[in-house]
């Protein structure tokens, strides 16, 4: 069974840093792109970032580019979202999701249960 489990969400002050983790199991980690999506309180889903199967190519939403970094560690079957310069508007539930080919698409299945990041100003 394919599973993704996020961790690392926390309450943090504006300007601070946080690293989210997504541990995956049940599939060959290095064969698929992986994606982060978030949902702010009362808002819709927002695509955040994605990384290709090899980890060589990364993509970011304009709202986080230059502040967030996505990466993957094949030895740990885990991928990460390093978030720096956090702002109040980054407050959201962050989901990780598995892609179905080597490059990022919006064909995402399954998703993790999410981890809450709260940025206080």
Q: Per-residue x/- marks for another protein, 19-38, CB under 8 A? A: ----------------x-x-
Determine which residue in the list 21, 23, 40, 46 makes contact with another protein, applying CB under 8 A. 46
Residue 41: CB minimum distance to another protein, A: 10
Residue 60 contacts another protein per CB under 8 A: yes
Residues 6+ apart with CB under 8 A from 29: 72, 74, 77
Place of tokens 């996505």: 70
Using alpha carbons, select from 16, 66, 70 the residue that is nearest to residue 38. Answer: 70
**CA atoms of 8 and 94, how far apart (whole Å):** 10
Using CB under 8 A, list all residues that contact another protein. Answer: 35, 37, 44-47, 50, 59-62, 95, 97, 100, 104-114
């Amino acid at each position: 069974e394919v599973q993704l489990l996020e961790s690392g969400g926390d309450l943090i002050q504006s300007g601070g840093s946080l690293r989210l983790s997504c541990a995956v199991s049940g599939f060959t980690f290095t064969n698929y792109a992986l994606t982060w999506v978030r949902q702010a309180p009362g808002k819709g889903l927002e695509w955040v970032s994605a990384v290709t199967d090899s980890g060589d190519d990364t993509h970011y939403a304009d709202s986080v580019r230059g502040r967030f970094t996505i990466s993957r560690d094949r030895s740990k079957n885990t991928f990460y979202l390093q978030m720096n310069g956090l702002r109040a508007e980054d407050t959201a539930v962050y989901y990780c999701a598995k892609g179905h080919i080597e490059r990022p698409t919006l064909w995402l299945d399954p998703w993790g249960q999410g981890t809450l990041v709260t940025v206080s100003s």
